[in-house]
Amino acid sequence: MHWMLAHAIGDFMFQNDWMQKKTTSSLHAAVHVATYLIPFLFTGLAWWQVALIGLQHFAQDRMGWSKVWQRFMRQTPPDKWPTGTLLVDQTIHAAFMWWVAGL
């Protein structure tokens, strides 16, 4: 399985409403990342690549890096462009996974 498909399955199909509280709780974020990583076991990536992806995913989701980026770049705020946060979030995830997959 390609790592991008594993990401889509883990981040969208395996995430429930309870896990959405990941920006306010480390427990929610940890459970989300643990279930998120399951599809990565079928990608052929090395264990340390999967671990790096998991660590980055936890940090990004828990700390809300996408909103930080939007404020830093003075992008349209989330209340006026709700999909913007999702797009920035997914772009950061994809760029990191691309980098890790190339190691």
d(CA 84, CA 81): 5
Q: What angle do the packed helices 65-72 and 82-101 form, to 10 degrees?
A: 110
Supply 28's token pair: 């929610």
Distances, alpha carbon 95 to alpha carbons 21, 28, 50, 77, 78, in Å: 24, 24, 15, 22, 21
Model pTM?
0.89
What tens-digit pLDDT sequence spans the chain (103 residues)? 899 999 999 999 999 988 888 778 899 999 999 999 999 999 999 999 999 999 999 999 998 888 888 888 888 888 888 888 889 899 999 999 999 999 9
Structural contact between residues 53 and 37, judged by C-beta atoms closer than 8 angstroms? yes
